Amino acid sequence: MNDDLGLPISHGRRLWLYTVGALVLLFLIVPSLIIVPMSFSGSTLLQFPPESWSLRWYEAYFQSVEWRDATIVSLKAAVLTTMVATPIGVAAAYALNSGALRLAGFINAVLTASLIIPVILIGIGTFFLYARIGLNNTLTGLVLAHTVQALPLVVLTVLSGFRSYDMNQERVARSLGAGRLAAFWQVTVPQIRFSIVSGALFAFITSFDEVVVSLFISGGETTTLTRRMFSALRDQIDPTIAAISTCLILLSVVLFSAAQLFGRKR
């Protein structure tokens, strides 16, 4: 359907629809937004709007060694996951897109399996496996598990980027004497780079926000931010978490905007 539907229904008669739709949108967005002003509260009570303002909960966040270490672990894991998942995902998407791959449907299903398999099963499974090969509570184990979860998003994003790209361009470059890698790097990559960046951003946020698998396989010195937040939420609701949440919301807005920007250029 296009901008103007041309249907003989006035906006007035649609008022109820717009009202319901707007209320549902508010339901989706307002709870997270309420956290932001509350994180600047001056008191230990969670009030909205806060009666006094301060940065004490941000100080509590940045000055706590535990929270800071957990944040660093999460950032490291997310950066490494992005660096591992993106090339693997791009390579797989390239092969899947070629159309010359036998069993392409099966391979696609394997690579995107982690979207369908219940996360709790992946968590228990990796914990069980890592216990035998000594990867629990290690950054390596965390990155491998997160890579598997980020892979489907990279593959799907890059595949959709390939859809608006004509592979013949790469063939032309190769027939003109460019090597395979050179043709891919100089002709194909510049044209699908926005979907590659979107895929990489997806991988980053998938790893950074991952909760369930991290609950099982991270701990000790490699406790992730999400794991520490989960435990903190089970015990008591400390306004420090409001400050951390606000930082996370800011991060997701930045990454989301970047993905939108790159997505539009595609």
Partner 1 sequence: MSAAPADLPDRGGLNADVLSADARREALALLGLCSPGIVLVGIIIVLPIGWLFWLSLFDETGMLSGANYARVVEQASYVRTFITTFEVAFIVTGLCVLLGYPLAYMLSQLPRRAASICLIFVILPFWTSVLVRTYAWLVILQRKGLLNTWLMDLGVISQPLPLAHNFTGVLIGMTHILLPFLVLPLYASMKAIDADYLRAAMNLGAPPTATFWQIFFPLSLPGLAAGVVIVFILCLGFFVTPALMGGGKVIMWAMRMEQTTSLYSNWGAGSALGVVLLAVTLGLLGVFRWLLGARATSAWGAR
Q: How many CA atoms lie within 13 A of 11 on its CB side?
A: 3
Give the nearer residue to partner 1 in terms of CB position, either 21 or 179.
Answer: 21
- Only one of the segments 51-59, 61-69, 89-97, 187-195 lies at the binding site for partner 1 (rule: CB under 8 A); that segment is 89-97
* # chain residues binding partner 1, by CB under 8 A: 91
- The yes or no reply on residue 80 touching partner 1 (CB under 8 A) is no
AA letter at 156: L
Residue 95 touches partner 1, criterion: CB under 8 A:
yes
- Of 155 and 192, nearer to partner 1 (C-beta) is 155
Stretch that binds partner 1, among 63-71, 156-164, 190-198, 222-230 (CB under 8 A): 222-230
Provide the minimum distance between the beta carbon of 147 and partner 1 in the complex, in angstroms, as a whole number.
6
> What are the structure tokens assigned to 96, written together?
């899947």
264 class by beta-carbon count within 10 Å (0-12 exposed, 13-18 middle, 19+ buried): exposed
Give the interface segment with partner 1, choosing from 53-61, 64-72, 85-93, 190-198 (CB under 8 A): 85-93
Residues 245-264 that bind partner 1 (CB under 8 A): 245, 248-249, 252-253, 255-256, 259-260
Q: Rule CB under 8 A: is residue 172 a binding residue for partner 1?
A: no
**Alpha helix (H) residue ranges in the chain:** 15-38, 56-63, 65-98, 104-111, 113-116, 119-133, 139-163, 168-175, 180-183, 189-209, 212-217, 225-235, 239-265
Say how far apart CA 142 and CA 217 lie, in whole Å.
7
The binder of partner 1 chosen from 41, 126, 136, 240 (CB under 8 A): 126
Q: Rule CB under 8 A: is residue 98 a binding residue for partner 1? A: yes
**Could you say which of 79, 124, 139, 178 contacts partner 1 (CB under 8 A)?**
124
Nearer to partner 1 (CB atom), residue 1 or residue 65 = 1
Nearer to partner 1, 69 or 209 (CB): 209
Task: Output Rg (C-alpha) for the chain, integer angstroms.
Answer: 23
Largest CA distance in the chain: 71
Restricted to residues 47-76, the positions that interact with partner 1 (CB under 8 A) are 47-48
Please, which of residues 174-213 interact with partner 1 by CB under 8 A? Answer: 174, 205, 209, 211-212
Residue 78 makes CB contacts below 8 A (sequence gap 6+) with 146, 204, 205, 207, 208
The amino acid at 96? L
